[in-house]
Amino acid sequence: MLRQEPNCRICAQAGRTTKASHADHIVPKCLGGSDDRSNYQPLCLAHSRSKTGREGAMIGHARRRARAKLKAGDA
């Protein structure tokens, strides 16, 4: 995939040309994303780390809300 699309897709949207180093799942597998080619995008290291951090925070928040909801149901 990186050979077919060698530049970071997010950088390209901002008018910059940055070599992509990661094949990123657009929708993470843990959120139901697939390994299909259409669910991949090329990202540079900076955008890959940023996106992964945002997704991790979002998943962590959802887990905390689910645990709180379960505890509230037990009370």
Find the Cα–Cα–Cα–Cα dihedral 46, 16, 37, 31, rounded to 10°. Answer: 40
Q: What is the pLDDT of residue 75?
A: 59
Query: Region 40-54: what's the mean pLDDT?
Result: 96
Residues 6+ apart with CB under 8 A from 5: 20, 41, 42
Dump pLDDT digits (tens) for 4-23.
999 999 999 999 999 999 99
- In whole angstroms, what is the distance from residue 75 CA to residue 66 CA? 15
Model confidence pTM above 0.85: no
Per-residue pLDDT band for 73 (boundaries 50, 70, 90) equals: confident
